[in-house]
Amino acid sequence: MAQIVLMYHDVYRENTVESGFQTIGSLNYKLRLDQFESQLIIIRTLIDRNPELNCDILFTFDDGGESAYSLVGPLLKKYGFRGWFFITTSMIGKAGFCSEDRIKELYEDGHIIGSHNHTHRSTTKGCTSESIIDEWKRSSEIIEKIIGVKPFCASLPNGFLDSKIGEAVKEAGFKRVFTSSPTTKVRKRDGIDFVGRYSISASMSPEYIKAIVTSSFTRKRIEVRACILNNIKALLGSSYSPIKTRLLKLVYGK
C-alpha cells in the first residue's frame, strides 16, 4: 500500500484563536479537539483491524502552533501515533505558538521535528536566491539548536515550490520535503524525496477522512480536482484569493 500522509495544522478546545496563525485562510484548517480525536479513533480502529496500515499513515502538522504540545502530542500518544511537526521558527515563543522548551519536549517524546521555513514565506517573488536559502538554513539551524540534531525534513508553506525553493531546501540539507499536493507518489530530485499530503480541513467529516485512508478512488478524485484547482489558480492570478473558499469546497467535495 502507498504511504498516505495527512496534513493538519491547529487543534483548539473552544476558540480558534488558541493556537497558530490567525489569518482568514488558516481558519478552515483549525479542528476542534473532539473532531480531531474522532478522526484518530477511526484511523486507530482501521489499523487495529488491518495492522499493515500502521507504517503507511503519517500525521503531519504545519506551523508550530501551541496546540502541537498541549493537545495534539498527548492525543497522538494516547492512540499510539507519532506526529511530524513542522515549525515556523520566527514564531517560536510568540502568542499561540510553541516555545523552545515545548518543541524539545515533543522531540524527546518521540515525535519528529522539522522546518516550515523561518518566516512562513510562501513565494519567491521579488526575492533573491540567497535570501531564500538563508530562510531555510536559518530555520534548520534554530531547530538543530533546540533538539540537538540537524532536522532532515521540512514542509513547504502553502505547498509552494519552484526552482529557488528547490535549491534552497537542498542547500539547507533537507532530505524529505512535504508538499501540499494530494498524492501518494514520491518525487525524487537532487537527493530529496518530495512527498505529497492530503490536507485536512475543519469541514471534513470522520467518514471522509476514513475514505481518504481506505479508498484509492477518493484519493484519485481529490488529486484530479486539485489539478483543476491549480489550473484555475494559474488562470485567475490575483483574482484567485476572493473565490478560494468556494474552489476548495469544489476540490474536497465538502
- List pLDDT tens digits, range 19-60: 999 988 888 899 999 999 999 999 999 999 887 766 689 999
Q: What is the pLDDT of residues 173-223, one digit of tens each?
A: 999 999 999 999 999 998 999 999 999 999 998 889 999 999 999 999 999
Query: How many whole angstroms separate alpha carbon 165 and alpha carbon 129?
Result: 8
More reliable by pLDDT, 26 or 148: 148
CA distance 21 to 24: 9
Buried b / exposed e along 58-69 (16+ C-beta atoms within 10 A): bbbbbbbbbbbb
Residues sharing a CB contact under 8 Å with residue 111, sequence separation 6 or more, in sequence order = 73, 76, 82, 83, 84, 85
In 3D space, the residue among 21, 210, 173, 206 whose CA is nearest the CA of residue 97 turns out to be 21
249 confidence band (pLDDT: 50, 70, 90):
low
Q: Specify the CATH superfamily of domain 4-214.
A: Glycoside hydrolase/deacetylase (3.20.20.370)
The residue ranges of every structural domain in the chain are 4-214, 216-254
The pTM is what? 0.89
Q: Which of 120, 128, 209, 193 has its CA nearest to residue 157?
A: 120
Name residue 22's amino acid: Q
**Residue 170 belongs to what H/E stretch?**
helix 163-171
For the chain, give the mean pLDDT. Answer: 89
